Amino acid sequence: MQKKRALSLAAAAAAVATLSGMALVAGPVTASTPEPTGDPAAQQAVAATAPPARPIEVLDIERMTPSAGTYGTGITVRAHFSDAVPEEARDEVTGLLSVQASTDIGPAGWAWLDEDTAVYRPKEFWPAGTEVTVTTRPSPAVIPTEGGSDLRWVASLDRTFTIGRSQVVRVDSDTHRATVVRDGDVVRTMPVSLGKEGWTTRSGVKTLMETYESKEMTGESIGAEEDYTLDVPYAIRITDSGEFIHGAPWAAANLGRRNGSHGCTNLSVPDARWLFENHLLGDPVVTTGTGRGIDASNGTGAVWNVDWSTWRTGSLDG
């Protein structure tokens, strides 16, 4: 739902929002006033022909991720706006967001995931050790739109995060094995079990999103026929739709042999604990061989599946 704030050109407004402890402050929005001519008739003529005042919507960032910290090479920069941004204004809005990297990251840019979310990523995963700084600046003027109101961009922030070592988990459905590659070297191989028929695990790039040392999972929560409640050890989310990579002591007979989960990537408890203790949020998980793809909106890492020619168009929502 849009949360729009309209300001008339005859009024002044100030918008203040908080983003991770930083204030985003709006300056006054004012209308220019023609100099008086001293001729009442001329003034009336100007007033009669002047276009009606258009309201101005103040556009803020509701949330910018990631916050300061160290992340895996698959992390993406995501700006969530307070209002829907019309297509004709999107290039100007993202043009006010600057992303600077301390190393050469190759081609990179913004694309709009939907009407209020813009995502920044390089063509390839970030190089290890890169320091990334995201800054914004207020718009120098009103941003015109084709709708009934224009936009005023007021957010201001300065955010720096770091890319850590490179670590990619490569999951092969055909061999039922996951291989962890760190800085080009294989550091661990783990037997896995993926989604069974009707619950096929999605192939493609995902990233580690959030972690739980123990997470309750139930059959009811996913609409499964089986009635179960499990305390799942070392669970790491990799999609918005509910795929996790986690320990599964009940699936020991399936690991390395066959698929039997409800879409998650099952590991032994020792392997799951190792990954839990040796991960960074944003580490890529690349799954192959399942025959089922993943939508670009299904998790913070899913946008890596968009081919670069499509990404360069700047819009993923049609």
């019309």: which residue's tokens? 86
Number of domains in the chain: 2
221 and 271 in a single domain? The answer is: yes
Q: Is residue 156 part of a domain?
A: yes
177 and 215 in a single domain? The answer is: yes
Give me the domain span that covers residue 185: 167-302
Instruction: Report the distance separating Cα 58 and Cα 137, nearest Å.
Output: 14
Q: Tell me, what's the pLDDT at 217?
A: 93
157 and 26 in a single domain? The answer is: yes
Task: Compute φ and ψ for 47, nearest 5 degrees.
Answer: -65, -35
159 and 224 in a single domain? The answer is: no
pLDDT confidence bin for 142, thresholds 50/70/90: confident
| Rounded average pLDDT over 42-67 | 72
| Rounded average pLDDT over 72-94 | 92
Token reading at 165: 């070592």
Instruction: Report the distance separating Cα 94 and Cα 80, nearest Å.
Output: 12
Q: Tell me, what's the pLDDT at 183?
A: 98
pLDDT confidence bin for 43, thresholds 50/70/90: low
